[in-house]
Amino acid sequence: MRVHELLSAIDERYPLRNALEWDPVGLQIGDPMADVGSVGVCHEVTDTVVSMAADAGIDTVVTYHPLLFQPSSSLVAGPTPQGRALALAAAGIAVIVVHTALDAGSPGSGDLFLNELGLSTHDRFPIEGEPMESAIGRIAISEAAIPSTELIEAVSAVAGGPVRVTPGPESVLRIAVIPGSGGSAVPEVIGLADALITGDVSHHKAGIAVSHGLMVVDAGHIGSERAGVQGLYSAVAEDVQGAVFLDDDPTPWEG
């Protein structure tokens, strides 16, 4: 298999054209005609992931988060995205980025998070004016009311760590999920759901949620994406025998 063939397989599962317009998905580093070789999947290309890939003889890395978000005028060695890009290029390691193409997919990151909670997606919804084909928001409607304490425990288990929660109803039926940084969409979710699971919720957006009776479960940026990344690994492992998960948690917070 060539790099471009793996990219095509990923594109078939998660159409890259549906990524948000600002998102640099696709092949970021490497020769599309090179042999895909050994493949590793990661949440984010950290310094540790670069070392793990080199030590394991990885030839192609499929990452959820982009390595290079902004155009770069130079690639200089060091603990920066540009430094990591230089190290990977020098080692001949290709990098494929999926990010919001996965979020918008079917199943997308939000669908997979809901599945881990034992729920099924009822509908999808766009945020901040994004087109419907790029919608990353998902809503589930539970057949029976879920006690809020039970939902919080379940979200914490899926996210892999503690969560922050605003006051809300004692039980919920309609549950929305926006993986990653969905705090800015709190006003848009009011009236759509009883609870919102997302990450990166600001003080002010949390206050808006409280004033409207919306329970927000902030699972953290990385925590809210974990189910999607595991789904990405499973998908790549179906296409490439022996694909490995480069397991380095990119959460920058302690506790």
Domains 3-102 and 106-222 share a fold: yes
Q: Report whether 95 contacts 88 (CB < 8 A).
A: yes
pLDDT by residue (tens digit) across 53-103? 999 999 999 999 999 998 888 999 999 999 999 999 999 999 999 999 999
DSSP states of 24-88 as a string?
Answer: --EEEES-TTSB--SEEEESS--HHHHHHHHHTT-SEEEESS-S--S--S---SSSSHHHHHHHH
Q: Please, what is the average pLDDT of the chain? A: 96
pLDDT by residue (tens digit) across 2-22? 999 999 999 999 999 999 999
Max distance between CA atoms of the chain, in angstroms, equals 56
pTM, to two decimals: 0.96
Mean pLDDT of 211-223: 98
For the chain, give every domain's residue range: 3-102, 106-222
Strands 164-165 vs 215-218: parallel, antiparallel or unpaired: antiparallel
DSSP H or E segment with residue 209: helix 203-211
The share of the chain scoring above pLDDT 90, in percent, equals 95
Fold of the domain spanning 106-222: 3.40.1390
Superfamily of domain 3-102: NIF3 (NGG1p interacting factor 3)-like (3.40.1390.30)
105 DSSP 8-state letter: S
**What six digits make up the tokens of 53?**
């890939």
pLDDT-derived band at 122 (thresholds 50, 70, 90) equals very high
